[in-house]
Amino acid sequence: MKKLLTFVLALMMIFSMTACTKPNGGDEVKTYKVGVAIYRYNDNFMTLYREEIKNYFKSLETDKVKYELSFVDGKDSMDEQSNQIDTFIAQKMDVIILNLVQTSSAEVLIDKIVAADIPLVLINREPLGDDGDESYEGILNNPKVCYVGADARQSGTYQGEIVLALEDKGDINGDGVVNYIMIMGDVENVDAQYRTEYSIKALVDAGVKVNCLYQDTAIWDQTKGQELVANALAQFGDQIEVVFCNNDGMALGAAQALRDAGRTVGVDVYLLGVDALDECQEMVKEGTMTGTVLNDHIGQSHTAVDVAIKLLNGEAIENYYWVDYVKVDKAYFN
């Protein structure tokens, strides 16, 4: 009887071993669950970023390591995103990649995720600390939390420098003042705040006189951007010399409004964006846009994925990872 029992047990062991090993005798396949929460799918830049997260994760899969990716659309609603994070926690994700809807609500979400002991990679929307202290405590104090992004000040400065490199430095009518309009992204976002501030700072620091005719938010959106620029053109017409847009989506809308008003970029107006969407790179090449700034979604998404994998492997990480912007004007293509 004892012998029979030993035999049955041995059989069971062999069976359970073969059940979890591959037929070729390899080790067990490990599948990691990755939750990716995006602030809003309907965003040109974040769509490219999101696609690249997916492609890059897939390219890193091996026979033994798989990534089960769950992407969710926050639809620009903090409540929606908060529920999505609760679901990720309930699903016991191995790591979460989070593009916040609202950086001012970062603490609540980070606390939940940290309490569930799930490593977290924040992307694209940087939460800032209090009192002008730019390092956010919720990131600094947590060894399994980090932020991957680009320094928005750099993108603003590059926009300004593109204008400074023009022969007339943006002063098309030669009256000694650059009259501009500023089409902003979501003002809750440091990207919108810094791009607005640093593009103009670059001009002022170089001794150029500036005058803001119009400034409003088009929340990163092309259609809204077109509307605002059409409004500004109706109000200020030929006075407008430079149109600064915090991103290319809005610059595409601006380009349409300028065409509708019979204006010609490079001749009687200048147009600047950020992101370097393919379409905008073409426009810069052909001169229908003055310049843009490459927001490196490839570099950022790959860094985010690489660091997520480090976290999955239990490796130590930095709290901040920065990816450079690149100035894109006509000279970039020579």
Touching ligand GAL, residues 90-129 (CB under 6 A):
124-125
Touching ligand GAL, residues 49-88 (CB under 6 A):
none
Task: Considering the complex, state which of residue 82 and residue 124 has its C-beta at the smaller distance from ligand GAL.
Answer: 124
- Per-residue binding string, ligand GAL, 125-154, x by CB under 6 A, is x-----------------------------
Select from 10-18, 42-50, 67-75, 202-210 the region that touches ligand GAL (CB under 6 A). Answer: 42-50
Minimum Å gap between C-beta 82 and ligand GAL is: 18
Task: Considering the complex, state which of residue 43 and residue 52 has its C-beta at the smaller distance from ligand GAL.
Answer: 43
Distance CA(184)–CA(315), nearest Å, equals: 39
Touching ligand GAL, residues 192-221 (CB under 6 A):
220
Among 84, 159, 189, 199, binds ligand GAL (CB under 6 A): 189
Pairing of strands 292-294, 326-328: antiparallel
Task: Considering the complex, state which of residue 190 and residue 208 has its C-beta at the smaller distance from ligand GAL.
Answer: 190
- 103 secondary structure, DSSP code: G
Minimum Å gap between C-beta 297 and ligand GAL is: 9
Touching ligand GAL, residues 228-287 (CB under 6 A):
247, 249, 274-275
User: Is 295 a residue that touches ligand GAL (CB under 6 A)?
Assistant: yes
Mention every residue, 6+ apart, whose C-beta is less than 8 A from residue 167: none
Structure tokens at 60: 């890193």
Would you give the end-to-end CA distance of the chain in angstroms? 85
Distance CA(277)–CA(166), nearest Å, equals: 22
- Per-residue binding string, ligand GAL, 20-39, x by CB under 6 A, is --------------------
Number of residues that bind ligand GAL (CB under 6 A): 14
Which amino acid belongs to residue 105?
Answer: S
Minimum Å gap between C-beta 312 and ligand GAL is: 26
Minimum Å gap between C-beta 132 and ligand GAL is: 21
Mention every residue, 6+ apart, whose C-beta is less than 8 A from residue 324: 150, 154, 296, 299
* Residue 142 φ/ψ, nearest 5 degrees: -120, 115
- CB atoms inside a 10 Å sphere around CB 248: 31
- 269 secondary structure, DSSP code: B
Minimum Å gap between C-beta 246 and ligand GAL is: 7
Q: Is 265 helix (H, G, I), strand (E, B) or coil?
A: strand
Max CA separation in the chain (angstroms): 105
Minimum Å gap between C-beta 196 and ligand GAL is: 13
- Residues 136/176, Cβ–Cβ less than 8 Å: no
Minimum Å gap between C-beta 199 and ligand GAL is: 13
For residue 85, give the nearest of 106, 68, 67 by alpha carbon: 106
- CB atoms inside a 10 Å sphere around CB 124: 25
For residue 83, give the nearest of 14, 154, 136, 35 by alpha carbon: 35
Task: Considering the complex, state which of residue 119 and residue 185 has its C-beta at the smaller distance from ligand GAL.
Answer: 185
Q: Which residues are near ligand GAL by CB under 6 A? A: 43, 45-46, 124-125, 185, 189, 191, 220, 247, 249, 274-275, 295
